[in-house]
Structure 1
Amino acid sequence: MSHEQQRSAVEVFQRFLEASVNNDWDAVADSYAEDVVVEIPFAPPGVPVATRGREVLRARFHGAAGIRRFTGSSDVVITRSDDPEVIFAEYQLLGAAVATGKAFASRYVMRLTVRDGLIVHSRDYSNPIATAVALDRVPELLAALTNNQGSQGGQGDQG
């Protein structure tokens, strides 16, 4: 892959981030390949640690729209890897919980593999504790951890 194609991986991420900040969930979903695999090793309760397919993600993004809205981003750092298809993105999304209006800032790290202008694989890391606090879901997180259920029971192609 040429340096120009690698730069397009950065552009794909930048479009993904802009669509996220604009709460344009169809544009976010359209950043992914049809058969994308997304892994979330520290997924919060109710979110599978592995998902396959753009349309499954699209449904999840639209479902989450009723929970939180993003208003901006900050601290964006993009790092290229030795693999020209892979980049690492660190960033923070700013927003508010829909139900309470409570403001939050969530930090993310993503390892993205981009091919032909689409994300074909992503491994996403965020802080599930900070997310639970921001969305007033600490009891649910505590219950999931206490019951040793967490998100591990949600592996697979669920939404």
Structure 2
Amino acid sequence: MTDSERGTPVTPTAPAEVYRHGLQLLLDKDIDGWVALCDEHAVFEFPFAPDGYPKRLEGRSAVAAYMQDYPDHLDVHAFPHLEIHRTEAPDTVVVEMRAVGRIVATGAPYEMPYIAVVTVVNGRFTHYRDYWNPLMVPASMSAAKSPLTTTT
């Protein structure tokens, strides 16, 4: 009998499956579950982040602080475009995706394309480089207190 047959949740360990699982946790507004996918020493980088936005987060606690109010600001409904590309490094994937939803404070639509380079070791995000486009952030996100405006 396997873990899934016993009803025990199986935690994925392959990078693509961990990433997909993380997206489902975000859709479920399970931020604690999503943060639990991060290694204790995970590094998150945002190379295109403009002034006032974090460029780097170090450690699970920094990621947790960054993400804690996420569902209060963004209500993501779906990821209608998702492509996960394997790389020559078996623990690393390149992800192309688009998130759609609404900005909670205003009800305005939210749509953002992302490209991320993600490394997963032992079922945990260890390095996450997120190339989101700051030019796509709606003006209403600046007015709403957003997790995107936390500085480090």
State if a TM-score over 0.5 links the two structures. Answer: yes
2:59 aligned residue: 53
- Encode CA deviations 1:55-81: one digit per residue, 9 max, x unaligned: 211121113332211111111000000
Match 2:40 to one of 34, 39, 53: 34
Distance 2:63 2:124 in 1: 14
* Residue 70 of structure 2 corresponds to residue 70 of structure 1: no
Match 1:11 to one of 5, 12, 17: 17
**5+ residue gaps, structure 1:** 1-6, 139-150
Amino acid across the alignment from 2:36: D
Identity %: 27
1:148 aligned residue: none
2:6 aligned residue: none
- Following TM superposition, by how much is the alpha carbon of 1:137 offset from its aligned partner in structure 2, in angstroms? 2.6
- Alpha carbons 1:85, 1:115 under 8 Å: kept: yes
- Alpha carbons 1:22, 1:70 under 8 Å: kept: no
2:142 aligned residue: 137
- Following TM superposition, by how much is the alpha carbon of 1:115 offset from its aligned partner in structure 2, in angstroms? 0.5
1:92 aligned residue: 98
Question: 96-105 vs 18-27, which deviates more?
Answer: 18-27
Distance 1:30 1:136 in 2: 26
Is the partner of 1:47 in helix, strand or coil? Answer: coil
The TM-score, its normalising length taken from structure 1, stands at 0.77
Match 1:83 to one of 78, 89, 93: 89
Distance 2:41 2:137 in 1: 27
- Encode CA deviations 1:79-116: one digit per residue, 9 max, x unaligned: 00011111011111111111111111111111011101
- Following TM superposition, by how much is the alpha carbon of 1:44 offset from its aligned partner in structure 2, in angstroms? 4.2
Structure with the largest fraction of helix: 1
Amino acid across the alignment from 1:69: D
- Alpha carbons 1:81, 1:88 under 8 Å: kept: yes
Is the partner of 2:14 in helix, strand or coil? Answer: helix
Q: Structure 1 residue runs of 4+, over 4 Å off? A: none
- Following TM superposition, by how much is the alpha carbon of 1:45 offset from its aligned partner in structure 2, in angstroms? 4.1
Is the partner of 1:83 in helix, strand or coil? Answer: coil
